[in-house]
Amino acid sequence: MRIVRGVLATLALTVAAAAMACGGSSAPPAGGAGGTGTATPAPGAAAPSGGPKQQPYANLAQIMRALPFPSSNIIFDTQSHDPGAKKEAKEGGAGAGASATFANIYTGWPLVEHSALALAETANLIMIPGRKCQNGKPVPLDQPDFQKAAQGLVDAGLAAYKAAQSKNQEQMVEVSNTVAEACAACHEVYRDTPTDADRCTPKAKQQRCRLLTLDSEWTNQHVASLLRVGGCAAEQHRAP
Ligand code: HEC
């Protein structure tokens, strides 16, 4: 059932994004009209001059739930369900494989290929300047370990694409580990933090800010000013 919901979310997001892109409304980009703000330039090719401006519409958690979550589940599912196997007539239901869902749309190994490519493409979306995390912090695009983890997602997605093309379930088992590790490499630092306020914060800063809040010798005022100078989130002041 989780997989069914995820796939539906992806389809809904695609439609919504297409509607936004084609709607002709010219809302100003999140970074402001001046263009000289804090936005970091995108890696790779320069943006084309025409068409809708590249800009974020969702926070990072929403992107994660819409794209890599359902896509990786379709990949993980191949470990126990052969995407090439003949399907039973019924759709969904307990125990049905992700590839059996929406059986008459995109199916079988091609669906696995598309999901693998969606993982690699997710890295493009992750790296768009100006996106925020759910807690309001900017996605830490400037952190080398974050950049490396985003590249890791590209590599894992492309490896999964290759494995899917081989239609070999053993290779899918192996590449499922690669994908899970690519997710974990980033989540361990930037998502699975003691509090949500610590998400999307470089590890060194997480530790420094927490040390500050834990030192009971200091007066609140002293801590508050150190938090300010150190760029720590205000909520971290209240965190246990
Ligand atoms: C480069 C870093 C990075 C990579 C790679 C990455 N994630 Fe995430 N992910 C994050 C961050 C950071 C958050 C928290 C976002 C927020 O709070 O806005 C997150 C949140 C999520 C969430 C939402 C969870 C929640 O608590 O709301 C899901 C689901 C998720 N990721 C799935 C995945 C999967 C599956 C993969 C691998 C296929 C993956 N992510 C790869 C950084 C990453």
> Do 152 and 228 fall into the same domain?
no
pLDDT digits (tens, 9 = 90+) for 142-199: 999 999 999 999 999 999 999 999 999 999 999 999 999 999 999 999 999 988 999 9
User: What is the chain's length?
Assistant: 240
**Best of 146, 176, 183, 195 for a ligand 1 pocket test (most atoms within 8 Å of beta carbon):** 183
Q: How far apart are CA 217 and CA 203, in angstroms?
A: 24
Looking from the CA of residue 185, the nearest atom of ligand 1 is 5
Q: Is the CB of 146 under 6 A from ligand 1?
A: yes
> What is the number of domains present in the chain?
2
| Residue 151, domain CATH | 1.20.120
> Do 189 and 207 fall into the same domain?
no
Q: How confident is the model at residue 36 (pLDDT cuts 50, 70, 90)?
A: very low
Looking from the CA of residue 73, the nearest atom of ligand 1 is 35
| Residue 26 covered by a domain | no
For residue 1, report the distance from its CA to the centre of ligand 1, in Å.
20
Name the residue range of residue 218's domain. Answer: 203-238
Residues 6 or more apart whose CB falls under 8 angstroms from that of 44 comprise: none
The 10 Å CB-count burial string (b at 16+, else e) for 168-198 is ebebbeebbebbeebbebbeebbbebeeebb
Average pLDDT on 64-84 reads: 96
> Do 178 and 207 fall into the same domain?
no
8 Å CB contact between 73 and 3: yes
| Residue 219 covered by a domain | yes
Q: How far apart are CA 3 and CA 56, in angstroms?
A: 25
Is the sign of the CA dihedral 55, 60, 65, 67 positive or negative? positive
Q: Is the CB of 96 under 6 A from ligand 1?
A: no
